[in-house]
Amino acid sequence: MNMGSSTVFHPKLTECKQCNLFDYSVNYHPLYNECHVLQCRQCCTQWYVCKKHNKRFNLQNMAKLRNHFIHEHKENFHMQQNNYNHDENVVNDLNSFETIIYDFEETTDNLWHTHKKPKLDETLTETQQQAYADSNFNTSHDVLNRVIGTAFSNNPVCPLNISKEEIAFHLNITNFCTKLSDSQQYQLTDIIHQLMSNNFVKTRPPTSFHDLQKFYLSGKHSIYKNIPCPVVTSFDNHACVALPDVVTFALATLDNLSIVQSSNYINIIEDNSSIIHTKICKTILHTINTKHKLNNIDPYVIFVTFWSDDFEVNHTRRNRNSTWIKTMTLIGSKETNTSRFYTQLVAIGNKGINHDNVNARLNNELLLLQNVNYYYLHKYKKTLPVVIYPIAILADRPERCALNATLSFSGNTTRRWLYSSLVPPNKLASCKACTNRRINRYLNKITSPSTSNVVCGRCCDFDFNTTSKAADFVPPHNYPKTKHIDSPPFPVGRDVLDTYKTQHLRPIKLTYEILKSGTRAAAFNLITNHWKKSEIRSYLKTLGVSTMMTDRVIAYALQEKNDNVDLMQYIQALPLPHTWVDNVVPLDQFIETPMHHLFEGIVKALIEVTTDYLKFYKCWTKYCEHINPLLDDINSLRLEFCNIEPFWQSKTEYKATGWIAENYLGYARIVIVLLCHIENVIPHEKKAFLEFKCMLQTSFVLITHLMTRESVDIKNIENLVKIFLSSCQSFDIAFGYSETNIPFWYKKVTLYLY
C-alpha cells in the first residue's frame, strides 16, 4: 500500500543518508504492519522506520529490524496473505518466522524459474497460444517488476512498483550492456549522466538512428567528420601520419609542452633534473640560436623523441603476426611526462615487411621540421617561429641495428653498441690491481686525483677508448692488407694493415661518417678488382656493417656498368641506408629504454646465471620451493612498484615462463631478500659462492643508483658498472671458466651495460 509522503515523521527519520534530501515515498512493510518503508525519490535508497518508537533501520540492519518487531510488537506481528503464494494467513507462533521467510523465498524462486523463459506449447492453435499468453501476461509483468524493483531497492522483501515503460527501458539497458566492455560501460554511464544533468538549449539529444548519422557520424557536417585531426595515409604497406600534421595538431591543442626559446640556453643549469636541463639540450639550443641569429630570429624549440618496435597485438608471446609501430613524443613538463596525449603514433605496419621507405619518409619530414616554421601555439595564443628537434631515438638493440644497418649484438666485433672491437675478453676486463684501485677510490680510501688517470698496460679496464697496449688485437682472417692507389680515404683506425707498423687494430667508436667512408672505400677496391669478396666481407664485418648491407654493396659493385662511367661518382651514388645519409641525429643518440636495458637485459641474464649455478649443485628446485610462497604473497598484494610472478613449474623444472619487463623489475627489487634464501639452500663452502653473492649484491647497488630519482654523479655510475663487471669476471674465473673461453658476462651482461 502506497501512503505517499503525507505521514509525519521526525526529521531525523526521513533524511536520505546518500543524497541528504527529504523527498521520499512511504509504504507499509509486508511483514510488519507498524513498520514503514521509506524510499528516496532521488536515489531510490530505502530504509525502515518504526514510528511508534522513533527508530530507523538501514538495509544492513535486517537482524535488528526483525528482533525489534518480533519482541517490541508481539501483539501486531503478522503476515498478509496477498504478498505470498501459500495457504497460511496469520502467524501466531513467533518461532515459525524462519519457516515463513523460507517459504516466501522458495515461492519467489519458483515463480522466477517458471517465467524466466516462457515457452508456448507448439501443439496449441494460434488462438489457444494467444489466450495462454494473455493469461500469463500479468504474471510475467509481476516477475519482471519484482526482479527490477529488487535490483534498484536492493531489498527482495519490498521491491519497487515499476511501470511497463520503465521495465522495457531497463531490460534494453541490460541487454545492451552485456555486449559492452568495462570501459564502454563506463562511457555509457557517463553519457546517461550527462543526458540527465544537462539542460539542452541550443541542441538536443539524438532520438533516432537518423539523428546519430546526421549529427555525429556520417553526415556532411557531422561532428566525427569535422573534428580536426591528422590525416592517415597509406604508404608502402604502412599506415602513416605526416609529422607536420602531428606537430600542427599538438601545438594547437596542448598547453603544457616544454617550449624553450633558443636564446635561453645561457640560463639552463645542467643538473639533469629534466630533459631540458641536460648538456645535450643546452648544446642543441646554442647551435640553433647561432644558426638563426644572422636572420634576427629567436625560434622556440620543442624537443621530441622517437620510439619504434614490434609487439604482439593479442599478447600471445609467440612472436607471430607481430605489428610494428613508430611513435613521436613531444617533451612535456614534469607534470605531463607520462601523459598519453603527448605521444603520437606516426606509422604502423606488419613486422615482417621492410620499413626503410617509411623511416626515410619520416626522416625527410623531420629535416624540414628542424628548420624554422611558424605554428599557432595554444600555450601562448599566437603564431610563433618553432623548431622541432629530435633529442633521442629509443629502440632496443635489434631495432637499433636494423635502423642503422649495423651488426647485431651477436656479432663478435659489435658486442658493445657504438664500438667496433675484437679485444679478447680477458684483456678487456679489469685486472686485480685496477679492480682494487677502483673499489678503494669508490669507498674514498684513495683521494689522490692522479690515480684516476692511470693507464694500465695489462688490461683495458673495461674501457674501449683506452690508450693501453692491451687494446691492440689481431685482425680477422682475410682482412685486406693493401688498397688501390686511387682509393678513397679510409676512416681513421680502420685502414688496411700495411698502414700500421704493428699489423694490429684497435677499437673505434662508430659514427655515420666512419661507416660511409669505410663502405665507399671498400666498394671502390672491389670495383677495381683490388680486393676479393672475402676481403670486403672481412673488412665490413670488422667495421660493424650488417651482412645485408654488405651483400648490397657487393651486388652494386659487381653489377654491369658503362665503361665511361666516373668511378668516384659511381661510388658516391652507392645506395646507403637513409640514416647514414640523412644524419637526422648522431649515431650515439640511439639509446635503449631502461626496461629493455636493465630488467629484460641484466636482471634476466643474472636469473639465467643463478639457475645454472644452483642447478650445478642440485639446489635450484629447492630454492624455487622456498621462494615461490613469498613471491605468491607479494603478487597477491598487487603492488604497482613490485609486480612479481612466481617461477612456473613445468614437468621437469622451474622456469621464469611468461615474465615481462615489470616482473624482472620486481625481482630486482627483492634480489637481496632472495639471496638469504639462497644461503639457506646451498652450503657456503661451495666453490665460487662468495663471488656469486658479490655479483648479486653489486648488481643491486648498480640498479639502485641507476633508477633513483636523485642526481648521481656519472663517475660513480661508471665505477659501479665496472665494479659489477669485475665481480662477474671474478665469479666466472672462480667457477671454473678458462680465460680462453668466452665468459658469460661478455656474451650477455656487457650487451646491456654499454
Nine cell digits for residue 92: 501466531
Contact 300, 384 (CB under 8 A): yes
Percent of the chain with pLDDT over 70: 83
Q: Which helix H or strand E contains 288, and what residues bound it?
A: helix 279-292
Residue 372's domain spans which residues? 232-394
Q: Within this chain, do residues 284 and 207 fall inside the same structural domain, yes or no?
A: no
Contact 135, 127 (CB under 8 A): no
What distance in Å separates the CA atoms of residue 289 and residue 270, rounded to the nearest whole number?
18
Q: Within this chain, do residues 573 and 649 fall inside the same structural domain, yes or no?
A: no
Q: Which helix H or strand E contains 10, and what residues bound it?
A: none
Does residue 74 form part of some domain? Answer: no
Query: How far is residue 243 from each of residues 493, 580, 638, measured CA to CA in Å?
Result: 38, 21, 39
With CA atoms as reference, report the closest residue to 682 among 607, 602, 608, 610.
Answer: 610
Contact 431, 417 (CB under 8 A): no
Task: Return the pLDDT at 112.
Answer: 40
Please tell me the total count of domains within the chain. 4
Q: Within this chain, do residues 653 and 704 fall inside the same structural domain, yes or no?
A: yes
In this predicted model, which residue has the larger pLDDT, 333 or 375? 375
Q: Cβ atoms within 10 A of the Cβ of 481, count?
A: 12
Q: Is the pTM of this model over 0.75?
A: no
pLDDT digits (tens, 9 = 90+) for 457-494: 889 988 888 889 999 999 988 899 999 999 999 999 99
- 3-state DSSP of 685-699: CCCCHHHHHHHHHHH
Does residue 486 form part of some domain? Answer: yes
Task: Return the pLDDT at 3.
Answer: 54
What distance in Å separates the CA atoms of residue 577 and residue 400, rounded to the nearest whole number?
13
Task: Return the pLDDT at 159.
Answer: 60
What distance in Å separates the CA atoms of residue 505 and residue 737, rounded to the nearest whole number?
27
Does residue 461 form part of some domain? Answer: no
State the pLDDT confidence band at 114, using cuts at 50, 70 and 90. Answer: very low
Does residue 277 form part of some domain? Answer: yes
Lowest-confidence segment of 31-45, 417-431, 466-480 by average pLDDT: 31-45
In this predicted model, which residue has the larger pLDDT, 717 or 156? 717
| Average pLDDT, integer, range 130-157 | 66
What is the DSSP secondary structure assignment for residue 214, as one 8-state letter? Answer: I
Q: Within this chain, do residues 582 and 644 fall inside the same structural domain, yes or no?
A: no
pLDDT digits (tens, 9 = 90+) for 376-390: 988 888 899 999 999
Task: Return the pLDDT at 104.
Answer: 37
In this predicted model, which residue has the larger pLDDT, 195 or 3? 195
Task: Return the pLDDT at 157.
Answer: 60
Q: Cβ atoms within 10 A of the Cβ of 138, count?
A: 9
Task: Return the pLDDT at 145.
Answer: 80
Whether the pLDDT of residue 288 is over 90: the answer is yes
Q: Within this chain, do residues 198 and 267 fall inside the same structural domain, yes or no?
A: no
Does residue 532 form part of some domain? Answer: yes
What distance in Å separates the CA atoms of residue 305 and residue 390, rounded to the nearest whole number?
6
| Average pLDDT, integer, range 425-434 | 88
Contact 28, 7 (CB under 8 A): no
Residues contacting 277, CB < 8 A, separation 6+: 268, 269, 270, 271
Whether the pLDDT of residue 742 is over 70: the answer is no
Lowest-confidence segment of 45-49, 492-496, 511-515 by average pLDDT: 45-49
Q: 3-state class of 119 per DSSP?
A: coil
Q: Within this chain, do residues 379 and 522 fall inside the same structural domain, yes or no?
A: no
Task: Return the pLDDT at 92.
Answer: 37
State the pLDDT confidence band at 111, using cuts at 50, 70 and 90. Answer: very low
Identify the domain boundary among 192, 211, 227.
Answer: 227
Does residue 61 form part of some domain? Answer: no
Task: Return the pLDDT at 83.
Answer: 41
Whether the pLDDT of residue 155 is over 70: the answer is no
Residues contacting 516, CB < 8 A, separation 6+: 576, 580, 581
Q: Within this chain, do residues 374 and 477 fall inside the same structural domain, yes or no?
A: no
Task: Find the radius of gyration of the CA atoms of the chain.
Answer: 38
Q: Within this chain, do residues 641 and 547 fall inside the same structural domain, yes or no?
A: no
Identify the domain boundary among 171, 202, 227.
Answer: 227
In this predicted model, which residue has the larger pLDDT, 76 or 117? 76
In this predicted model, which residue has the larger pLDDT, 206 or 101? 206
Q: Within this chain, do residues 215 and 249 fall inside the same structural domain, yes or no?
A: no
Q: Within this chain, do residues 353 and 494 fall inside the same structural domain, yes or no?
A: no
What distance in Å separates the CA atoms of residue 426 and residue 129, rounded to the nearest whole number?
93
Residue where the block lists cell 620543442 = 302
Q: Within this chain, do residues 219 and 272 fall inside the same structural domain, yes or no?
A: no
Identify the domain boundary among 574, 591, 608.
Answer: 591
| Average pLDDT, integer, range 724-750 | 72
What distance in Å separates the CA atoms of residue 376 and residue 181, rounded to the nearest whole number?
38
Does residue 661 form part of some domain? Answer: yes
| Average pLDDT, integer, range 192-212 | 87
Task: Return the pLDDT at 525.
Answer: 94
With CA atoms as reference, report the closest residue to 406 among 491, 510, 481.
Answer: 510
List beta partners, residue 330: 304
Q: What is the mean pLDDT of the chain?
A: 82
pLDDT digits (tens, 9 = 90+) for 524-555: 999 999 999 999 999 999 999 999 999 999 99
Whether the pLDDT of residue 74 is over 80: the answer is no
CA atoms within 13 Å, Cβ hemisphere of 519 = 29
Query: How far is residue 202 from each of residues 174, 196, 225, 282, 291, measured CA to CA in Å?
Result: 31, 16, 21, 51, 52
Q: Within this chain, do residues 354 and 323 fall inside the same structural domain, yes or no?
A: yes
Does residue 80 form part of some domain? Answer: no
pLDDT digits (tens, 9 = 90+) for 650-660: 878 888 888 88
| Average pLDDT, integer, range 66-95 | 54
Strands (E), 99-244: 232-235, 238-241
Percent of the chain with pLDDT over 90: 32
Task: Return the pLDDT at 749.
Answer: 61
